[in-house]
Homo-oligomer: A and B are copies of this chain.
Amino acid sequence: MSQLLKRWNELAEVKEELANRDWFFGTSGNLSIKVSNEPLHFLVSSSGKDKRKKTNEDFLLVDKNGKQVESTSLKPSAETLLHQQVYNKTNAGCSLHIHTVDNNVISELYGDAGEIVFKSQEIIKAFGIWEEDAEIKIPIIYNFADIPSLANEFSHYVKEDTGAVLIRNHGITVWGKTAFDAKKHLEAWEFLFSYHLKLLSVKNVLRTQAEISI
Contacts and interface: CB of A to CB of B under 8 A. Distances in A.
Nearest to A171: B122
Contact of A202 (B130, B144, B200): B200
Interface string A172-214: 0000000010011101101100111111111111101100101
Contacts of A204: 204-205, 208-209
Nearest to A189: B26
A145 interface: yes
Contact of A198 (B102, B134, B168): B102
Contact of A214 (B144, B170, B199): B199
Nearest to A119: B214
A169 interface: yes
Interface string A12-42: 0000010001100111100000000000000
Interface residues of A, number: 64
A200 to B, nearest CB: 4
Interface in A129-151: 130-134, 143-146
Interface of A: 17, 21-22, 25-28, 50, 52, 99, 101-102, 104-105, 108-109, 117-123, 125-126, 130-134, 143-146, 167-171, 180, 183-185, 187-188, 190-191, 194-206, 208-209, 212, 214
* 10 tightest A-B CB contacts, nearest first: A26-B126, A132-B145, A26-B188, A122-B170, A200-B202, A25-B187, A26-B187, A25-B191, A204-B205, A101-B194
